[in-house]
Amino acid sequence: MIAWPAALKPNNGGFGQLVRSLSGGPSLSGFEQVVPQMTDRWQARYQVPVRNREQMMAMRAMLGNLRGRTGTIALPAYENRYAPWRTDQYGRRFTPKYVRTRALDGTAYADPANINDTLITATVRDAAAAMADAIYVRMTTGAAPQPGNRFSINARLYEIGAVAAAGGVDYAVAIWPWLRFATAAGTVVDFTTPVCEMRLISDDQGQDAMQSLDVMKYAAPVLQFEEAAPVTDDTPPA
């Protein structure tokens, strides 16, 4: 699995849930029974501007390393603005932008090391088995998680469907999709820079992206990804 290049910053797109349902069609009464097909996974679509040499080289290297659908990438979800930052008594959120400190190193402001980790620190409270659809999250720093928050555990993306207080800084959260791997207590829950292991949806995505360049200079190719299958167990819950 490779990392997403810092030089490439999407200007459009995002993650979406790929869900399917099954139905036998309407009955004689007119009602229809619909049940979920347990193949839920993430898809993503990003439009990525290429405007300079750094971005061109980063795009080439990324697509070359992916080798079509063969390789996988830790695709960022860009959830920073929606993360559960704690607030003060005036309702101001303690985001990295808000807590920047003045420095005398030639820049107007400087960020402390690991600023995201110091503002929100969350871990898995209890060990959880693969395919679990709920876990306990311990929020050592930060605000209470909310339905709709997204986070990653071991490079897999999850969305919170429901939250219940479990005492102190602990919360029981229902998640989508089901937990991809067995997870130990104390494992980091990343709300600030979540990623998901993804692969291109087709082998020709890279070719199409590079051929869209205007005289090998400018482009805004659209890349589409789907969640990579876990290497241990891809079996959905019963």
Q: What is the pLDDT of residue 201?
A: 93
HEC assignment per residue over 30-83: CCCCEEEEEEEEEEEEEECCECCHHHHHHHHHHHHHHCCCCCCEEEECCCHHHC
* Distance between CA atoms of residues 175 and 163, nearest Å: 9
pLDDT tens sequence across 134-158: 999 999 999 999 999 999 999 999 9
pLDDT tens sequence across 119-137: 899 999 999 999 999 999 9
Region 7-12 average pLDDT: 93
Residue 238 pLDDT > 70: no
Residue 22 pLDDT > 90: no
Sorted by sequence, the CB contacts under 8 Å of residue 43 that are 6+ apart come out as 15, 16, 17, 18, 201, 224, 225, 226, 227
Q: What is the pLDDT of residue 228?
A: 93
Q: What is this structure's pTM?
A: 0.84
Region 221-235 average pLDDT: 78
Q: What is the pLDDT of residue 7?
A: 94
As a residue count, the chain comes to 238
Q: What percentage of the chain has pLDDT greater than the value 70?
A: 82
Report residue 96's pLDDT band, with 50, 70 and 90 as the boundaries.
confident
Tokens of 71: 């390789």
Domain spans of the chain, in order of start = 1-77+194-238
Residue 4 pLDDT > 50: yes
Residue 109 pLDDT > 80: no
Q: What is the pLDDT of residue 234?
A: 46
* Distance between CA atoms of residues 159 and 178, nearest Å: 10
Q: What percentage of the chain has pLDDT greater than the value 90?
A: 58
Q: What is the phi/psi pair of residue 200, to 5°?
A: -60, 150
Residue 75 pLDDT > 60: yes
Architecture category of domain 1-77+194-238 in CATH: 2-Layer Sandwich (3.30)
